[in-house]
Structure 1
Amino acid sequence: MLIENEFRVTAPVDEVWEYLLDLPGLAPCLPGAELTDDLGDGTYRGRVVTRLGPVKLGFTGTAKIIDADEAARRIAIHAAGSEDKGKGTADMTVTATLVPAAGGATTVEVTQDLQVSGAAAQYGRGMISDVSSVLLRSFAECISHNIAAGRGGGTATVTRTAKPAGGLSIGLAAALMALKRVIRRFFGPSTRP
């Protein structure tokens, strides 16, 4: 499935670009993610743990930057893994394009080409897309904070443990997004002639 999103970082394009090129620095910004081993050649082994309601999903796999076009300010990261318990898999290529925004900020346009099987697949495209949006919002806040802290001479990385991405808060935010979508569908402007 293809999921498109965007988020805003309160830092200039050049600073955001440099930050995105550092996979070990990025991992703590994604709730529930941690890198566990540097395999060389820019490939890292890691884990992602998330909780959706009563279901806790843990994946172990690898991540690597597969394309970094500095002129176009576009980066692609490939991550693949399998469930720690169960037979599910996840394979994702994330492409991020950086665009200058007003006030010296940066808009990051994100395309996720995601293939999932097993327990994660039963949630469907809508829920996966909504959860992805919630996680990206948290990711953007973390990046903004880390870049600002690095400029001010503070600690450049927000410390997060690899605890599961919060099921209740993510679930509620995703459910609210789904409800808004339904309300727009029924009460939004009609597209009939």
Structure 2
Amino acid sequence: MLIENEFRVTAPVDEVWDYMQDLPGLAPCLPGAELTDDLGDGTYQGKVITRLGPVKLGFTGTARMVEADEAARRIAIHAVGSEDKGKGTADMTVTATLVPASGGATTVKVTQDLQVSGAAAQYGRGMISDVSSVLMKSFAECISYNIDAGRGGGTATMTRTAKPASGLGIGLSAAVMALKRVIRRFFGPSTRP
């Protein structure tokens, strides 16, 4: 499934580009993600843990930057993993394109090409897309915070890292997004001729 998101970072495109080149520094900004080992050649082992309602999903796998096109300001990261408990798998390529925005900010357009099996696949495209949007918002806030802290002479110990993904917070936010979508479908302007 293809999921598209867009978020804004309150920093110039050059600073965001430099920050996003550092996969070990970038990973903690994704709620529930942690890199556990540097396997060399730009490949990292890691895990992602998230809760969605009563279900806790944990994946262990690898991540590697497969593209860093400075001229196009495009980065692609490929991650693949399997469930710690269960037979599910996840295979994802995340492509982020950075575009200068007004006020010296940066718009980051993200495309996630995601294939999941097992328990995660049971949630369906709508719920996975909504959860992805919630996670991207937290990701953007973390990047902005860390870039700002770096400008002020902050060190890694002062830099905020994202909290592990909380099932209640993500679930509520995703449910609100789904409800808004349903309301727009039923009460929005008609598209019939």
Q: TM-score, normalised by structure 1?
A: 0.97
Match of 1:174 in 2: 174
Residue 3 (structure 1) aligned with residue 7 (structure 2): no
For residues 100-128 of structure 1, the C-alpha deviation after alignment (integer angstroms, 9 at most, x for no partner) is: 00000000000000000000000000000
Alignment partner for residue 158 of structure 1, among 145, 157, 160? 160
- Residue aligned with 1:150, SS: helix
Distance in 2 between the 1:115 and 1:192 partners?
A: 34
Distance in 2 between the 1:20 and 1:6 partners?
A: 15
- Residue aligned with 1:63, SS: strand
Moved over 6 A (4+): none
1:9 and 1:106 in contact (8 A); partners too: yes
AA matched with 2:86: G
AA matched with 1:127: M
Q: CA RMSD in A?
A: 0.9
Consecutive unaligned residues in structure 2, runs of 5 or more:
none
Residue 82 (structure 1) aligned with residue 76 (structure 2): no
For residues 75-121 of structure 1, the C-alpha deviation after alignment (integer angstroms, 9 at most, x for no partner) is: 00000000000000000000000000000000000000000000000
Distance in 1 between the 2:162 and 2:6 partners?
A: 23
- Residue aligned with 1:58, SS: strand
Match of 1:136 in 2: 136
Q: Among all aligned residue pairs of Structure 1 and Structure 2, give the percentage whose two residues are the same amino acid.
A: 87
Q: TM-score, normalised by structure 2?
A: 0.97
Match of 2:34 in 1: 34
1:90 and 1:117 in contact (8 A); partners too: yes
Query: 1:1-193, aligned counterparts within 5 Å?
Result: 1-156=1-156, 157-160=159-162, 163=164, 165-193=165-193
Distance in 1 between the 2:161 and 2:188 partners?
A: 42
AA matched with 1:158: R
Consecutive unaligned residues in structure 1, runs of 5 or more:
none
* Offset, 1:160: 4.6
1:146 and 1:155 in contact (8 A); partners too: no
**Aligned residue pairs, count:** 191
- Residue aligned with 2:153, SS: coil
* Offset, 1:154: 1.5
Distance in 2 between the 1:82 and 1:153 partners?
A: 39
